[in-house]
Amino acid sequence: MRITIGHYYTPRGRDLQSRRISSRSAQISRPSIQKYRTISGRPVRSGVGIEPDVMFSEKEKSEFHKALIRDGAFFKFAGYWVRENHSSPDTRKLYDSFSKWLNQEGFLYLTEAEKSLNRASASLSEVWDPGIADAIQLAQEGIREQKNLDLQRGQEELSEAVLAEVQSRLLDRDVYIQVRLQADQVANEALQIVIDKSRYHSILTL
């Protein structure tokens, strides 16, 4: 990947390069931040890169979801499911299959609370007594219950991730892209802005 060190300007003289760009191997002239106005009077800035007119914030993935990604669980399950099935997946049944598969595979996911509890258990090993053992066991049970709740609450999020991975194996590339775009929240929000002419023009004239 190359770092762009040139400066790109709009017809009104606004520099599109961001001041945040840096490189150890090249001397980059950092543009100063200046304010401009478009022909319609909309305020814009130079020296900050290309700023979006509308900001979308995607939902943060749960820690469990991130752990599944790190382990490659979605990828592995999709391969398993496609080998065992030859029809279009039903979302609800697919998630049930994924949950069972995780249990069969013995997927291990440690929360931050579990990591802290394990460290505490190790540090208290020399002064062990029944009271400490009971307290740790009670904490472990509470953590397990919370993990089960997290799994249930994140069902919609995880179902979508599982479905996307399975679809990538079953659908042609163009069809897959079309299907995933239809399910993409940001893409749908952007499409609604384009369709809504009054909102679209109001954004450009802010």
How wide is the angle at C-alpha 168 spanned by C-alphas 162 and 170, nearest 5°? 105
Q: Which residues contact 22 (CB under 8 A, 6 or more apart)?
A: 28
Express each pLDDT in 23-77 by its tens digit.
Answer: 555 555 555 678 878 777 778 887 777 778 888 777 788 878 888 998 899 999 9
Count CA atoms within 13 Å of residue 171 on its CB side.
16
- How far apart are the C-alpha atoms of 9 and 146, rounded to whole Å? 53
- How far apart are the C-alpha atoms of 109 and 143, rounded to whole Å? 11
Report CA 203 to chain centroid distance, whole Å: 27
Q: Whole-prediction pTM value?
A: 0.63
- How far apart are the C-alpha atoms of 14 and 37, rounded to whole Å? 9
- How far apart are the C-alpha atoms of 47 and 14, rounded to whole Å? 8
- How far apart are the C-alpha atoms of 16 and 10, rounded to whole Å? 7
- How far apart are the C-alpha atoms of 45 and 11, rounded to whole Å? 14
Express each pLDDT in 126-156 by its tens digit.
Answer: 666 777 778 878 888 887 787 777 777 778 8
Tokens of 45: 């800035």
CB atoms within 10 A of CB 119: 10
Residue 1: pLDDT band by 50, 70, 90 thresholds?
Answer: very low
Tokens of 25: 């191997």
